[in-house]
Amino acid sequence: MRSFVLLFVALITFSGYAQQKLPLRIVENSKEELTKEEHWFQLEVSNTSSKTVDVLVSIQNTTCQNMAGRQQSELLFKIFDANKKEVKETLMLNGNSKSTFYIKSIRTPNSRLGSWNCANVTLLSSSRTAISQTIELRSLIPNPSNFE
Is 65 part of a structural domain of the chain? yes
Is 13 part of a structural domain of the chain? no
Model pLDDT for residues 11-52, shown as the tens digit of each residue = 343 434 445 789 999 999 999 998 899 999 999 999 999 999
Alpha-carbon span 80 to 65, nearest angstrom: 27
Is 125 part of a structural domain of the chain? yes
The CATH number for 56's domain is 2.60.40.10
- Domain membership of residue 48 as a residue range: 21-141
Model pLDDT for residues 86-131, shown as the tens digit of each residue = 998 899 999 999 999 999 999 998 888 889 999 999 999 999 999 9
Q: Which pLDDT value is given to residue 5?
A: 38
Give the C-alpha distances (Å, rounded to integers) separating 76 from 2, 7, 28, 60.
57, 49, 19, 10
Is 6 part of a structural domain of the chain? no
Is 54 part of a structural domain of the chain? yes
Is residue 29 within 8 A of residue 90, CB to CB? The reply is no
Alpha-carbon span 113 to 126, nearest angstrom: 37
* Count of domains observed in the chain: 1
